[in-house]
Copies of this chain bind each other. A is one copy, B any other.
Amino acid sequence: MFKKVTLAGVGLLGGSLGLNLKTRGLAREVVGYVRRAGSIEECSRVGVVTRATLSMEEAFTDAELVVFCVPVSQIPILARAALPFLKEGTIVTDVGSTKRELVTELETIFLPAGIHFVGSHPMAGSEKTGPGNAYLDIFRNTICLLTPTERTSPAALHQVQELWEKVGCRTVCLSPADHDELVCRASHLPHLIATALVNHVLGNNNSDVQARICASGFRDTTRVASGSPDMWRDIVLTNREQVLSEIDAYIETLKSMKETLKTESPENIHSLFSNARKLRNQWLDSR
C-alpha cells in the first residue's frame, strides 16, 4: 500500500485508476494533478481521487508513486515541471500509448535524480473520455504492457507490475521498440482504418441515404474513431515511421484480398472469410 499516489492528469484512465486505488485500498491518499479549475469540481463530483489540485507542489511533494495519465506529448513537459517536487526513490510510471521516444526521454529526466521510471501501457480504455466516464472494471482482464530497459530498477518494475495486477490487468514485458511495433498493428492500425472508414463513408459528399443505411456493423467497426483526437495525434507523432509502414503493409493485404475476390473460385473466397472467422474466434477464446 502506497501512502501517497499522484495521478498527473485525471481523464478516463487516470480517473479509473484512482477509483481502483481508492476502492481497493491500494493507497492512503490519491491526489489528482489537474490543469483546469473545472476539473477539480468534476473530480470531486465523481469521487475518483481523494482530492484534486492545480498546485504542482501540493500534488507531487512526498508522492511515493506518480502515474502520468495525459496524452503522450504532454508527459515529458509535465515530467520536467514536476521533477523539482519529487523526492529520490519515488516510482514514476505512465499510461502512454507509445513507448520508444517516451521511455528514452523520461529516463533522461528521472534517472539522474534517483527517481525510478517504469513505462506502462494498460491496453484499456474506450472511445469515451474524461473522469465522468471512469469505471472500476476498466482494467479487468486487460493486458498492461510494461517496457523495462536495462536501466530500469528491478524493484520498481516489480512494484509497478504488482500495481497493475492488483487492479485487474495481466502484465506483459516488452522492449519499448517491440511495444511500438506490436501495438501499432494491434491498436494504431485499427484506429487509422476506422478513422479512414468514417471519413470515406460519412464524409466525401456522400448522400444522406448513405449515412442512414449504416447499421450496427458500421457502428462497431468504427467505434474507436470516436476516441480522443489529442491522444491519437500524439500517437501518430511519436510512432510515425511504424504507423506509415503499417498502413502500407495493410494496403498490400487489401490488394491481395482484392485479387482473391477478383480471380479466385467461390471456394477460395469462402476460405478467405472462414479463415478470418476462425482466427478471430480462436483469438476470442484465448482471451
What separation, in Å, do the CA atoms of A192 and B254 have in the docked complex?
Answer: 8
Which residues of B are found within 8 Å of A236, using beta-carbon distances? 261, 269
Interface string of A187-214 (1 = CB under 8 A from B): 1011111111111111100110111111
Q: Is the interface of A mostly helix, strand, loop or mixed?
A: helix
Contact B124 A249 (CB under 8 A): no
Contact B251 A251 (CB under 8 A): yes
Contact A270 B230 (CB under 8 A): yes
What separation, in Å, do the CA atoms of A230 and B266 have in the docked complex?
Answer: 10
Whether A227 sits at the interface, judged by CB under 8 Å, is yes
Contact A224 B225 (CB under 8 A): no
Partner of A186, one of B143, B182, B214, B269: B214
Contact A229 B270 (CB under 8 A): yes
Interface string of A244-287 (1 = CB under 8 A from B): 10011111011101100110001001111111110111111010
Contact A247 B254 (CB under 8 A): yes
What separation, in Å, do the CA atoms of A199 and B271 have in the docked complex?
Answer: 12
Contact A172 B240 (CB under 8 A): no
What separation, in Å, do the CA atoms of A185 and B213 have in the docked complex?
Answer: 10
**Interface size of A by Cβ–Cβ distance < 8 Å?**
88
Whether A24 sits at the interface, judged by CB under 8 Å, is no
Distance between A95 CB and nearest chain B CB, rounded to angstroms: 13
Copies in the complex: 2
User: Among residues 16 to 51 in chain A, which have CB atoms less than 8 Å away from a CB atom of chain B?
Assistant: none
Which residues of B are found within 8 Å of A286, using beta-carbon distances? 211-212
What separation, in Å, do the CA atoms of A219 and B223 have in the docked complex?
Answer: 11
Distance between A40 CB and nearest chain B CB, rounded to angstroms: 26
Given contacts A172-B212, A213-B143, A262-B240, contact A220 B218 (CB under 8 A): no
* Chain A residues within 8 Å of B, Cβ to Cβ: 123-126, 142-143, 145, 172, 174, 182-183, 185-187, 189-203, 206-207, 209-227, 229-230, 232-233, 236-237, 240, 243-244, 247-251, 253-255, 257-258, 261-262, 266, 269-277, 279-284, 286
